[in-house]
Chains A and B, each alone.
Chain A
Amino acid sequence: MVDFSYAVSDRQGGGGYSTISIFARVLKQMGYHVHEQRSVHSNIKGMRCSYYNRSGDERADAIADWIDLHFAFDQESLREDIGLIREGGVLIADISKTSPTQKGQPVKLEEFKDTIAARKIQVLAMSMAEDARKVGGNPIMRNTMALGMAAFALGIDRNTFYQFIQKQYGSKKNGAAIVESNTKAFDHGYDTAAEIQSEMLRKEKRRITVPALGGPDRVVMLGNELVAFGAIVGGCRGFSSYPITPSSETFETMMENMHRFGGVAVQASSELMAVGIVIGLNYAGVRALDATSGPGFSLKAEALSGEGSNEVPLVIELAQRSGPGTGLPTRTAQEDIRMALYAGHGEFPRIVLVPGTPEEHFYLSAQAMNLAEKYQMLVIILTEQCMAQGRFTIDKLDFDRVVIDRGKTLLTEADVTRIVEEGKKYERYLVTADGVSPRALPGVSGVPFYTNSNEHTPMGFSTEDIEHRLSQVRKRARKIETLLRSGDLPGSEIVGSADAKIGFIGCGGVSAPTKEAMKELAEEGVETKFLRLRTLAPFPKDEVRKFVRSCSRVFIVEQNHDAQLREIIQAHVTGPMPRKLRSTLRYDGRPFRPRDIVEAFKRGGEYQ
């Protein structure tokens, strides 16, 4: 099994992302799966940043506990990452005396000499920025120089890199010249690495190899790109959003590509405008999506409640980031579970879906489009930064799994006359056994009708009559019962040893690291199982109750301080269970690594 982890410590504007990105594409072409995570400041240039990648013959959807090969361009950034370089790992460092980036701190390996010695880290250091300047190039070309060193260190044919250097820089202004000087920089790095390592190599083989795996060149997509694509395949032809991290890529993907499918995507001038446009599109019969994060979702609370009364379908992606307030805008969290479940005044039904694998970002997004229209309800796709902005290898997306279901939408005049008796009027909020009223569309359905967020009669007109009030409240509530009986909601997934008495419960971004932690524990002889929730509203009480009963101890893994998921489990299912239920929490804006969960488990559950 090949499982190769590589990363870069840099400063924003330093181009370190180019280094790791080209490297990832080379590996992808060699047949590797690729996973990428970013760890950046909420800033454009000059603050430190790191990128963590993982490639292997098998797919991994979480970053590893270790780093095999590390590119270091900045001291402050390296300080945070060096502890992850494993024994015998390779450190490629630019030791130029000055840094070419804004506020950059030159790398001084002296500070880390103890760690380097203790772990026998192979150091390949050269003054890359300075050398680049010397050969008449831009010091930022140290990025490709570092790649040259990596190619030599890992025994990868240098020709594999040339085409990706062409792809990365060829289309820029003065592309040909840039490609040529970057190729020279690459070769310079490669040859220098050969000189430095020749001694070492004479004595021992290269410790890390990345053999060509053959196999197909795979598709890689961001979680957000999958959400956008899933929505489109699910029939979404309208989109409006306000730019906010970390839902930005859903927005960009829609803005750049919606036209290919005949739809429309617009940038709104506020979060309120975005959700309003999406409501208008949905009301008039065009499936539409809004994508936002915590601060934006807070603003939309009134609109959620309005929808809860007027029953216009609405789908919103809530890509979580660390809060509260402005929080850590570019970092991951699961701190909006409560808000997703409860935001909006009054009482109204909603669905909250939580994708926990990359593919689910596609399939659940498509399913959200159906659920919103079929049940005339609010559907929230709850994602989080580490997966929304993580890049994953996607083997296949099965479009046939998506079947458009418009429920009781009355698309034509014929649909209306079929259900409305001669001489009677069409009632938008007809009281039905399942709670879902047949839904006409303006214009195309051929009947006038009233859509109202005031309490209303079946015709839709405002009313304060007790009889109508009770009838409509109960009708809306019945939609939940219908939904639960329908089997339309994604159920939980249980993995691991069926007989295990130790269980994990979690959702979303903790899923992949938890599954890897379980593998590590299994290797140590500890059998566990994992209940992965995919729907948080309506809450899957029976599934959770059954799982908790079958365990002697349960670790609820989540990325927040208040243990929000545990709160819901205790409130709706188990009651307080301080001995059986344990919380494994991480709320520093960084995603869990598998080792964190293993170590927490050994300590009785506590991580942060």
Chain B
Amino acid sequence: MTRQLPFDKRVADFTAKSYDAKDHTWCAGCGDAGVLAAIKKVCAALKLPPHWVIDNSGIGCSSKISEYHLCCGFHWLHGRSHPVAMGIQLANPKLVVLNAGGDGDHYAIGMEHFVHACRLNPDITDIVMNNQVYGLTKGQLSPTGHKGLVTPTSPKGAKDEPVDPVPIAIICGATFVARGYSYRQEQLMDLITKGILHRGFSLVDILSPCPTYHKEADYDTVKDYYDENVKDVIDANREMARQGVQVTDVVPDYDPTDKMLALQTVEHIRNMPWCREAECSWQGNTPKDLTVKTEDNVEVYACPTCGSTKVQIGRLPIGLIYKVEGRPTYADNLGLDPAKPLVELDISVAANRKKYEEFFEMFR
């Protein structure tokens, strides 16, 4: 069941350029520019009238996005965007509500709101530019930063278990969970489009590299890090089937409506070891598949095929990971009629007098 999109014939000829607003001020190579480009193209493809699109954003480099495409933008407080987005959607369900922000907004300070949004299923689309750091405040570690990531607040490399919003969202009841990547525009546009059309809460987590503050010692650029690390769930699922890794009884192809498959596939991708040597394309299933050798009195992992120690455990799952249709939305459960937006109610005393008098009588 898809939601109805607002229509206005005046935008019939709109292209992506029609949605230009303020020029962006992001660094060259910022992943957020890819997200912005995708949003403009999706709006044009769906012929969304700008005044019916809400971009409700938090605080940070990524949250500036609401100023950069033509829409009704709302730039609010750090981590507090979900409740506002939910209130806007209740007021007028004709609005297409995009809830943009960074990993700090949605998964750190705003985690309480994120989790409740997942379970309450408001008809909004989270657009999260996830880059493992806090860019605008100059590069501190974000809770999504991987173990070992060096930043000004993790000078010896991050030690804590990172947050992965994908399984959290699935477990908390989100009805649409996807992860895109700024540098795979086609897929990103497809995921955002599907997220908007999905009737319910849609998480579109987007790996959006920060070239200024996200430094990876083992890679030349942060884009290389992401390019090499992303793994589409469809591909992973095929590989798992080929290698005989059974996660459910029948696994012909990736089925995003299967919750257990989604969780297990994501977990598999997060734990799979692989060799980073360009000529070797070895990939295992669990860290146990690696060999262990001793170098300079230190035990290190090595590739069982080529022996190199340039191995890594885990990749970053991307793609349409999980979705379920037909669950009542937040507004449905409140008994709201999408054909009668609250904003159109007649609030004059004259129109409501009889009800007011009846209510008063209840207290006699």
Q: Which single residue of chain B is at the shortest CB-CB distance from A456? A: B75
Q: Which residues of A contact B82 (CB under 8 A)?
A: 273, 276
Beta-carbon contact of A284 and B51 below 8 Å: no
B51 touches A445 (CB 8 A): yes
Inter-chain CA distance A277–B357, complex, in Å, is: 29
Q: Mark B48-72, 1 if CB is under 8 A from A, else 0.
A: 0011111010000000101100111
From known contacts A220-B363, A277-B86, A442-B51, infer whether A263 and B91 are also in contact, taking CB-CB under 8 Å: no
Q: Is the CB of B90 within 8 A of A442?
A: no
B165 at the interface (CB under 8 A from A): no
A237 near B342: Cβ-Cβ < 8 Å: yes
Known contacts A238-B90, A257-B359: A287-B84 contact under CB 8 Å? no
Please judge, given known A-B contacts A287-B347, A303-B77, A443-B92, whether A238 and B83 are in contact too, CB under 8 Å.
Answer: no
A235 to B349, CA, bound (A): 8
In the assembled complex, how far is the CB of residue B78 from the closest CB belonging to chain A, in whole angstroms? 9
- Contact flags B345-364 to A (C-beta < 8 A → 1, else 0): 10111001101110111011
Q: Is the CB of A303 within 8 A of B80?
A: yes
Any B CB within 8 A of the CB of A601: no
A229–B70 Cα distance when bound, in Å, is: 39
Q: Which residues of A have CB within 8 Å of B95?
A: 284, 442-443
Specify the chain A residue showing the minimal Cβ separation from B8: A446
Binary per-residue interface labels of chain A (499-530) against chain B in the complex, 1 for a CB within 8 Å, 0 otherwise: 00000000000000000000000000000000
CB distance from B200 to the nearest CB of A (A): 17
The answer to whether B77 and A280 touch across the interface, beta carbons within 8 angstroms, is: no
Residues of A within 8 A of B347 (CB): 235, 237, 287, 404
B256 to chain A, nearest CB (A): 28
Taking a contact as CB atoms closer than 8 A, the residue among B51, B56, B334 that contacts A446 in the complex is B51
Minimum Cβ distance to chain B for residue A559 (Å): 27
Q: Chain B residues near A277 (CB, 8 Å)?
A: 83-84, 86-87, 90
With A269-B112, A441-B343, A453-B76 already in contact, the answer to whether A284 and B87 are too (CB < 8 A) is yes
State how many angstroms separate the Cβ of B102 from the closest Cβ of chain A.
16
| Interface 9-mer from A188-196, A206-214, A394-402 | A394-402
The residues of A that contact B67 with a CB separation of less than 8 Å are 450, 452, 461-462
Q: Mark A265-297, 1 if CB is under 8 A from B, else 0.
A: 010111011111111111111111000000000
B residues in contact with A262, CB < 8 Å: 340, 342, 345
Q: Is A448 an interface residue (CB 8 A)?
A: yes
How many chain-A residues does the 8 Å CB contact rule pick out?
Answer: 69
**Chain A residues positioned under 8 Å from B53 (CB to CB):** 448
A454 on the B face (CB < 8 A): yes
Residues from chain A with a CB closer than 8 A to the CB of B363 are: 219-221, 225, 394
Q: What mask results when residues 88 to 100 of chain A are scored 1 for a CB within 8 Å of chain B, else 0? A: 0000000000000
- Bound-state Cα–Cα, A161 to B42, Å: 70
Instruction: Check if A218 sits within 8 Å of B342, measured CB to CB.
Output: no
**B194 at interface, CB cutoff 8 A:** no
- Determine whether A81 belongs to the interface, using a CB cutoff of 8 Å to chain B: no
Tell whether, in the assembled complex, residue B52 and residue A443 are in contact, meaning their CB atoms are under 8 Å apart.
yes
* B70-A448 in contact (CB<8A): yes
Q: Is the CB of B356 within 8 A of A233?
A: yes
Q: How far is the CA of A221 from the CA of B362 in the complex (A)?
A: 10
- Indicate if the CB atoms of A238 and B349 lie closer than 8 Å: no
CB distance from B50 to the nearest CB of A (A): 4
CB distance from B3 to the nearest CB of A (A): 14
Chain A residues near B88 (CB, 8 Å)?
Answer: 280-281, 283-284, 442
Which chain B residue shows the least CB distance to A449? B72
Q: Does any Cβ of A come within 8 Å of B6's Cβ?
A: yes
Contact of B91 among A221, A229, A261, A281 (CB under 8 A): A281
Task: Give Cα A275 to B91, complex, Å.
Answer: 15
Query: B360, A397: Cβ atoms under 8 Å?
Result: yes
Interface residues of A in 215-265 (CB under 8 A from B): 217-221, 225, 229, 232-233, 235, 237-238, 240, 257, 259-264
Segment 258-292 of B: residues with Cβ below 8 Å from A: none
Query: Would you list which residues of chain B between 73 and 122 have a CB under 8 Å from chain A?
Result: 73-77, 80-92, 94-95, 112-113, 116
Confirm or deny: B306 has a beta carbon within 8 angstroms of a beta carbon on chain A: no
Residues of A within 8 A of B80 (CB): 272, 276, 302-303
B252 at the A/B interface (Cβ < 8 Å)?
no
Contacts of A447 in B (CB 8 A): 51
Cβ-based interface call for B335 (8 A) = yes
Judged by a CB distance under 8 angstroms, whether A550 is at the interface is no
Would A281 and B90 count as touching, CB distance under 8 A? yes
Contact at B349–A400, with CB atoms within 8 Å?
A: yes
Residue in chain A with minimal CB distance to B113:
A273
Number of A-B residue pairs having CB atoms within 8 Å of each other in the complex: 191
* Contact call B87/A281, Cβ cutoff below 8 A: yes
Measured between alpha carbons, how far is A285 from B356 in the docked complex, in Å?
22
Query: Chain B nearest CB: distance from A327 CB in Å?
Result: 24
Q: Are A270 and B343 in contact (CB under 8 A)?
A: no
Question: B116's contact among A269, A288, A306, A403, by CB below 8 Å, is which?
Answer: A269
Q: Please tell me if A444 contacts chain B, counting CB pairs below 8 Å.
A: yes
* Central interface residue in B71, B361, B363, by most chain A CB within 10 Å: B363
For A272, the closest partner residue in chain B by CB is: B80
B182 to chain A, nearest CB (A): 23
Q: Does B336 contact A (CB under 8 A)?
A: yes
A215 to chain B minimum Cβ distance, whole angstroms, is 13
Complex alpha-carbon distance, A284 and B88, angstroms: 6
CB distance from A141 to the nearest CB of B (A): 28
Known: A257-B359, A448-B50, A461-B67. A238 touches B92 (CB 8 A): no
CB proximity of A534 to chain B, nearest CB, Å: 22
At the interface, yes or no: A160 with Cβ under 8 Å from chain B? no
Are A264 and B51 within 8 A (Cβ)? Answer: no
Residues of B within 8 A of A266 (CB): 90, 334
Among residues of B, the one whose C-beta sits closest to the C-beta of A451 is B74
Residue of A nearest to B340 (CB): A262
| Cβ contact within 8 Å between B71 and A448 | yes
Task: Say whether, besides A273-B116, A443-B95, A462-B67, A278 and B75 are in contact (CB < 8 Å).
Answer: no
B190 to chain A, nearest CB (A): 25
* Chain B residues positioned under 8 Å from A453 (CB to CB): 75-77
How long is the Cα–Cα vector from A288 to B84 in the complex, in angstroms? 12
Which of B72, B94, B340, B356 is most buried by chain A, counting CB atoms within 10 A of its CB?
B72
Q: Which residue, A232, A266, A268, A445, has most C-beta atoms of chain B within 10 A?
A: A266
C-alpha gap A275/B81 in the complex (Å) = 11
Most interface-central of A240, A262, A400, A403 (chain B CB within 10 A): A262
Q: Are A280 and B51 in contact (CB under 8 A)?
A: no
Question: Do A452 and B75 touch across chains, with their CB atoms under 8 A apart?
Answer: yes
Q: Does B327 contact A (CB under 8 A)?
A: no
**In the bound complex, do residue A448 and residue B72 qualify as a contact, i.e. CB atoms below 8 Å apart?**
yes
Known: A270-B112, A449-B72, A451-B75. 9 other contacts (CB 8 A): A238-B342, A273-B82, A279-B76, A280-B56, A280-B84, A283-B87, A283-B91, A302-B77, A310-B76
6 closest A-B pairs by beta carbon, nearest first, are A280-B87, A276-B83, A284-B91, A235-B347, A442-B72, A277-B87
Sample (17) of A-B pairs whose CB atoms are under 8 Å apart: A225-B363, A235-B347, A238-B90, A238-B342, A264-B342, A266-B334, A270-B112, A273-B83, A278-B87, A281-B88, A283-B84, A284-B343, A310-B74, A442-B88, A442-B92, A442-B95, A443-B51
